[in-house]
Structure 1
Amino acid sequence: MENTYWLANYTGRSDFILVGIFSESKHPALLCLVIFVVFLMALSGNTILILLIHSDAHLHTPMYFFISQLSLMDMIYISVTVPKMLMDQVMGMNKISATECGIQMFLYVTLGGSEFFLLASMAYDRYVAICHPLHYPVFMNHRVLLLLASGCWFLGSVDGFLFTPITMTFPFCRSREIHHFFCEVPAVLKLSCSDTSIYEIFIYLCCVLMLLIPVTVILGSYYFILITIHRMNSAEGQKKTFATCSSHMTVVILFYGAAIYTYMLPNSYHTPEKDMMVSVFYTILTLMLNPLIYSLRNKDVMVPLKKMLNVGPVFQETIK
């Protein structure tokens, strides 16, 4: 009898309710406007960067190929969560079906995993360019670039196909309210009435592996890069190399730091409010900052950008 009641209760409600960040805000309309502006800035910034890299022959290099892939991932990433959140706020709806929730979960897990490995590929690219410049055209030829990029997308999709079906097949017989603005795995798991502890350990171990491999590549690459920079006789060369690498390391720290908090810290460190704020940071703000980090004060990008916009002296001081 109890099982029959549970089954009726479970199958009778297929929609989830996204509580979101607006319910916690004293000024939801203002917050909605701010997020919309940030969304437009992230979308336009990454789109412009992709167009510049595609149209300018001087940017047809492995480094900018990876940056264009990062911008593409960021554009899709922010489009997975923010439009739904803003539309719900404007229309006064906060429901999401189980199917939509699963699709949203799959896309953000896939893109997040892909970005982990892409950042490692970018670090390897900088290592080869700085430490083995004579062999750079051989080690980072067109075929290698395509293999690395497709490998990043493939490994990210493995994550999506692994976590999404398992998470969504747990029975959800508790409240259907997800205390989040999108279907993130930890937030959805909290609604399950079954024991998820073994699965949570599995997620933790997978995240350790997903972070350990890229972080090892990144740290190893930058260890040899720093040694090479230290040996450089040219102060200008040291400055240029350090500027290029510091941009990449800034993105790595922002993205990996948020992922470590979300998936690897014990539950005692988590509250719904903290989790949402961290997610806002790495699913919205970071994606707006990435094109600025890679283009600001970067002559390779700012010169073609000035040509594209056909503006006058405003950019000239920035480029100098």
Structure 2
Amino acid sequence: MQKGNTSGISEFLLLGLSEQPDHQLILFGLFLAMYLVTTLGNLLIILAIASNSHLHTPMYFFLANLSFIDTCFTSTTVPKMLMNIWAQHQTISYAGCLTQMYFFMTFALLVDFLLAAMAYDRYVAICLPLHYTTVMSPARCVLLVTIFWLCSHLIALSLTLLMAQFSFCGSHVIPHFFCDLLPLLKLSCSDTSISQVVMFIDASLAGFIPFTCILFSYIHIISMIFRVPSADGKHKVFSTCGSHLSVVILFYGTLILVYLQPSSSYLADTGIIISVMHTVVTPMLNPFIYSLRNKDIKRAQRKLLSKGIVPSW
């Protein structure tokens, strides 16, 4: 494998979502609206949790972090795409491309880890309620989030440094709206077979461990639900984790469709559509899922709106 960017490529060309001039204004308006909804929706959840002392619990601590990271996750791709559409200048520098990929992977991994922590929190609350305050202490929750940040940055950095070793001596056109791992691997003229195996193992372990934690938690939660005698009791237990389960299905469903495939079989059009679902639509829907299904969040948001702390939209 050749070392470094020996091709001398200084920038890549991002084709975006459509090359049709007539579509650009529509795409700009659509994705600007979606980005604003995502940012405002997640900000409202963070403010609601911060302003209500009753929500200062581990579950809502993780939710506030998830809302912040969802906003950062979307911000790694959408603002650059909007700027490219507006300026009609679809290029991104080589360094900027790797930087975007690094932060994209960092925040994607953080979402992955946080969803696992939230699942474990629900498992302890439902299956081990007497030990909840001890197991999910504030100090332990802060420590978990700190570890998540460190692990995400280290994994993303290792994958980005590995990508930086590849050469790009052919086309510099990326058929995507941001610098993602699979489209970049397709462009490389280096022998990436060994590196792809390393990347796949690295990324799979990073995703497999949190997913296993989520699966473990919900197996025990469902087992507990079946042991509840009354239908009302079953509904009450399930309602405490229904929002989180919906977000998990959305996140992992799109994640599996995009990334659990070899780069040789990657299809640009299909990859772009699913990537939009994964990077833009899912973070936008998360605030609605938690706001509509969670009575505590709805109550806290109504208090915010009634006090005029945030505008009503």
CA distance 1:24–1:262, shift in 2 (3 Å) = farther
CA distance in 1, matches of 2:120, 2:67: 18
Residue 212 of structure 2 corresponds to residue 216 of structure 1: yes
CA distance 1:287–1:155, shift in 2 (3 Å) = same
CA distance in 2, matches of 1:15, 1:309: 46
Partner deviation per Cα, 1:251-309 (whole Å, 9 max, x = no partner): 11211122222222234653111111111001000000011111113210111211111
| Residue of structure 2 in register with 1:133 after alignment | 129
| Residue of structure 2 in register with 1:48 after alignment | 44
Partner deviation per Cα, 1:114-171 (whole Å, 9 max, x = no partner): 1111111111000000011111001100111011111221221122111111112211
| Residue of structure 2 in register with 1:58 after alignment | 54
What's the TM-score, normalizing by structure 1?
A: 0.90
Check whether the contact 1:207–1:263 (CA below 8 A) recurs between aligned residues. Answer: no
Check whether the contact 1:22–1:89 (CA below 8 A) recurs between aligned residues. Answer: no
User: How do 1:104-115 residues align onto structure 2 when only pairs under 5 Å count?
Assistant: 104-115=100-111
User: How do 1:2-81 residues align onto structure 2 when only pairs under 5 Å count?
Assistant: 10-11=7-8, 13-23=9-19, 27-81=23-77
Partner deviation per Cα, 1:174-210 (whole Å, 9 max, x = no partner): 1111111111111112111111111112222223212
Over the residues paired in the alignment, what is the CA RMSD in angstroms? 1.8
User: How do 1:1-320 residues align onto structure 2 when only pairs under 5 Å count?
Assistant: 10-11=7-8, 13-23=9-19, 27-267=23-263, 269-310=265-306
1:236 is displaced (CA, Å) by 3.1
CA distance in 2, matches of 1:102, 1:267: 18
**Equivalent residue of 2:221, what SS?**
helix
What's the TM-score, normalizing by structure 2?
A: 0.92
CA distance in 2, matches of 1:208, 1:305: 37
Check whether the contact 1:124–1:221 (CA below 8 A) recurs between aligned residues. Answer: yes
Q: Which runs of 5+ in 1 are unaligned?
A: 312-320
CA distance in 1, matches of 2:21, 2:124: 47
**Equivalent residue of 1:175, what SS?**
coil
CA distance in 2, matches of 1:242, 1:204: 35
Matched letter for residue 69 of structure 1: N
CA distance in 2, matches of 1:199, 1:108: 20
Check whether the contact 2:109–2:207 (CA below 8 A) recurs between aligned residues. Answer: no
CA distance in 2, matches of 1:234, 1:157: 46
Identity of aligned residues (%): 43
Partner deviation per Cα, 1:50-109 (whole Å, 9 max, x = no partner): 111111111111100111111111011111110110011011111111111111111011
CA distance 1:196–1:241, shift in 2 (3 Å) = same
| Residue of structure 2 in register with 1:315 after alignment | none
**Equivalent residue of 1:108, what SS?**
helix
CA distance 1:268–1:102, shift in 2 (3 Å) = closer
CA distance in 1, matches of 2:240, 2:25: 39
Check whether the contact 1:204–1:263 (CA below 8 A) recurs between aligned residues. Answer: no
